[in-house]
Amino acid sequence: MSDNLPIRKIIHIDMDAFYASVEQRDQPELKGKPVAVGGSRSRGVVAAASYEARKYGVRSAMPSVTAYRRCPDIIFVKPRFEVYKEVSDIIRGIFQEYTDLVEPLSLDEAYLDVTNNKKGLPSATLIAEEIRKRIFESTQLTCSAGISINKFLAKTASDINKPNGMKLIKPQEAVGFIETLKVKDFFGVGKVTADKMRRMGIHTGADLKSKSLGFLTKNFGKSGAYYFDISRGIDHRVVNPNRIRKSVSIENTYDNDLTDLEDVEFALQELSVNLEKRLAKSHVLGKTVNIKIKYADFEQLTRSKTASVWMGKSSDYDPLWKDLMQDPQLLDRPIRLLGLGLSNLNTEENDDLGLQLTLEF
The Cα 118–Cα 96 span in angstroms is: 9
**What dihedral angle (degrees, nearest 10) is formed by the CA atoms of 163, 95, 93, 343?**
-80
> Which CATH architecture does the domain made up of 20-80 adopt?
3-Layer(aba) Sandwich (3.40)
Q: From edge to edge, which strands make up the β-sheet containing 75-77?
A: 48-49, 35-37, 75-77
Fold of 247-345: Dna Ligase; domain 1 (3.30.1490)
Phi, psi values for residue 77, rounded to 5°? -125, 135
**How does pLDDT run across 16-25, given as a tens digit for each residue?**
999 999 999 9
Q: How many CA atoms lie within 13 A of 341 on its CB side?
A: 17
Position 296 scores a pLDDT of: 86
The string of pLDDT tens digits covering residues 67-76 is 999 999 999 9
For strands 166-168 and 143-148, give the pairing: parallel
Global pTM?
A: 0.74
39 confidence band (pLDDT: 50, 70, 90) = confident
Calpha distance 187→183 (Å, rounded) = 9
Residue spans per domain, the chain:
10-17+82-172, 20-80, 174-230, 247-345
Mean pLDDT over all residues of the chain?
89
Query: Which fold is adopted by the domain 10-17+82-172?
Result: Alpha-Beta Plaits (3.30.70)
Residue 26 has pLDDT above 60, yes or no: yes
Is residue 92 within 8 Å of residue 329, measured between CB atoms? no
Tell me what the mean pLDDT of segment 148-177 comes to.
Answer: 94
109 given a catalytic annotation = yes
Q: For position 360, what pLDDT does the model report?
A: 60
Say which of 109, 173, 265, 276 is annotated catalytic. 109
The C-alpha atoms of residue 248 and residue 310 are separated, in whole angstroms, by 14
Contact of 271 with 338, CB cutoff 8 Å:
yes
For residue 87, pLDDT beyond 90: yes
Q: Can you name the residues that pair with 110 across neighbouring β-strands?
A: 13, 104
* Cα separations in angstroms, 98 against 51, 85, 92: 30, 21, 10
Percent residues over pLDDT 70 in the chain: 94
Confidence of residue 5 (pLDDT cuts 50, 70, 90): low
Q: What is the pLDDT of residues 178-222, one digit of tens each?
A: 999 999 988 878 888 899 999 999 999 999 999 999 999 999 988
CATH number of 174-230: 1.10.150.20
CB atoms within 10 A of CB 191: 8
